[in-house]
Amino acid sequence: MEENILLDAIERYQNGEMSPEEKSYFEELRKHNSNIDEVAVEHLLFLEQFSKARNINSFKNTLNEVESKLESEGLISTNNRNDKAKVITLWRKYRRTIAVAACIAGIVSLSTASLVSLYSENKKVAVITPLVDNKLNQFEHKLNQMENKLNDATTVIEKPKFEANFRATGFLADGNGYLITNAHVVDNARNLIVENTKGEQFTAISVYSNPVTDLAILKITDTSFKKISALPYTFPKVTAELAQPVFTMGYPREEVVYGEGYLSAKSGFYGDTSSYQISISVNPGNSGGPVINKNGDIIGIISSKETNAEGVVFAVKSKNIYNALKEVKSNKEITIKLPQVNSLKGLDRVHQIKKIEDFIYKVKGN
């Protein structure tokens, strides 16, 4: 603990937070005790190194943003790498390693996860979020140990040690890193991590959550998140029609799962007009997933299902999102822009899914 105090002193000294007496005492101490001086020099160098690394990292993000902007304008063209020797930059190499690591994790989790439904207050509606039990945590721990051993033998595997105790679904509403999911998913979470279909993980924070509508908005805080210029789907304000076929994508398993159904009522549980009743097969983990119609409009967000009836699922109407955005804007001064152009209309389902799946995220937390 002594080192703790010393490092703290060094930082306060550096930031000019010391009183004059304390400052001269500290300088005296450095002068006469070479050990302390050494620690101070080393620590300051280390901090400089640290900020430099992060600085350059955020500059790289800017570069990538500029690049993708110019690319969309056609000023920069991509690849035609046809020949023998290739210059593979480091991060591309890592990306592949991460994907492999993610695959291994997926298989193990699947074989051990036991899914339990969380019951909400009225006991009739089960909230669709799985509680992954302790066993899974133990396995993850073992997996981490194995990975550490692997690390020694090979290169670095980028995988944060994060023990999640629930899993749900969320989707991007704004390419700047704003995701929509359910309030019940994030309300009691301390840390949140979202993961896309490529296995890239980002930390996120909740910027809005409303237990009444069961809507929450997350913001990806990781600097490694690359801004997405155009999302393919839109969010209609009008109520959708009965019998409309719909589909959803979510994470009842480690891998994204597709499901189809139809709109069975324009109101939800006990006549709740802010949601729809949908007949679709969903499982714990689907919570927060989008309900999409054949044109690629997101008409709702899966939130709960009735426990004593088969295939009765409730989804929050998408027009509630607009109210949520207004609240976020007035309370937190965050402007979130929903996509305005739908590029999914007229495509067949397989192609629609291909365009959508990158933006459906797994939401994990503890």
Partner 1 sequence: MKIYDDEKALIDGLAANDFDATEIIYRDNYPSIEAFILKNNGVHDDARDVFQEAMIILFERVQSGSFELTSLIKTYLYSVSRRIWLKKLQKLNRHYPALENVSEIVAVEDQIEMHDKVNRDLDRMQQSLSKMGEPCKSLLEAFYLEKKSMPEIAEAFGYTNADNAKNQKYKCLVRLKKLFFSQYKNEL
Residues near partner 1 (CB under 8 A) are: 3-4, 7-8, 46-47, 49-60, 62-63, 65-67, 69-70, 75-83, 85, 87, 89-90, 151, 156, 158-162, 190-191, 193, 203, 205, 221
Task: Evaluate whether 313 touches 195 at the Cβ level (below 8 Å).
Answer: no
Closest CB 33 distance from partner 1, rounded Å: 20
Closest CB 61 distance from partner 1, rounded Å: 9
Q: What are phi and psi of 168, to 5 degrees?
A: -150, -165
CB-nearer residue toward partner 1: 196 or 239: 196
Closest CB 275 distance from partner 1, rounded Å: 30
CB-nearer residue toward partner 1: 205 or 242: 205
- Residue 172, strand partner residues: 179
Closest CB 14 distance from partner 1, rounded Å: 11
CB-nearer residue toward partner 1: 164 or 298: 164
CB-nearer residue toward partner 1: 101 or 353: 101
List of long-range contacts for 63-72, beta carbons under 8 Å, 24+ apart: 64/226, 65/226, 65/227, 68/226, 68/227, 68/229, 69/229, 72/229
Alpha-carbon distance 300 to 98, whole Å? 32
Longest dimension (CA), the chain: 83
Task: Evaluate whether 39 touches 6 at the Cβ level (below 8 Å).
Answer: yes
Residues with Cβ within 8 Å of 323's Cβ and at least 6 positions away in sequence, in order, are 213
Closest CB 117 distance from partner 1, rounded Å: 25
Strand pairing class (178-181; 125-127): unpaired
Closest CB 85 distance from partner 1, rounded Å: 5
Q: What is the CA radius of gyration of the chain?
A: 24
The two structure tokens encoding residue 175? 């390419």
CB-nearer residue toward partner 1: 323 or 331: 331
CB-nearer residue toward partner 1: 47 or 115: 47
The two structure tokens encoding residue 58? 């955020």
CB-nearer residue toward partner 1: 45 or 242: 45
What's the DSSP call for residue 234? B
Closest CB 155 distance from partner 1, rounded Å: 9
Closest CB 187 distance from partner 1, rounded Å: 13
Residues with Cβ within 8 Å of 102's Cβ and at least 6 positions away in sequence, in order, are 159, 195, 199
Task: Evaluate whether 339 touches 150 at the Cβ level (below 8 Å).
Answer: no
CB-nearer residue toward partner 1: 194 or 313: 194
Alpha-carbon distance 100 to 18, whole Å? 49
Task: Give the Cα-Cα-Cα angle 322, 323, 329 (nearest 5 degrees).
Answer: 90
Alpha-carbon distance 287 to 273, whole Å? 19
Closest CB 233 distance from partner 1, rounded Å: 26
CB-nearer residue toward partner 1: 224 or 343: 224
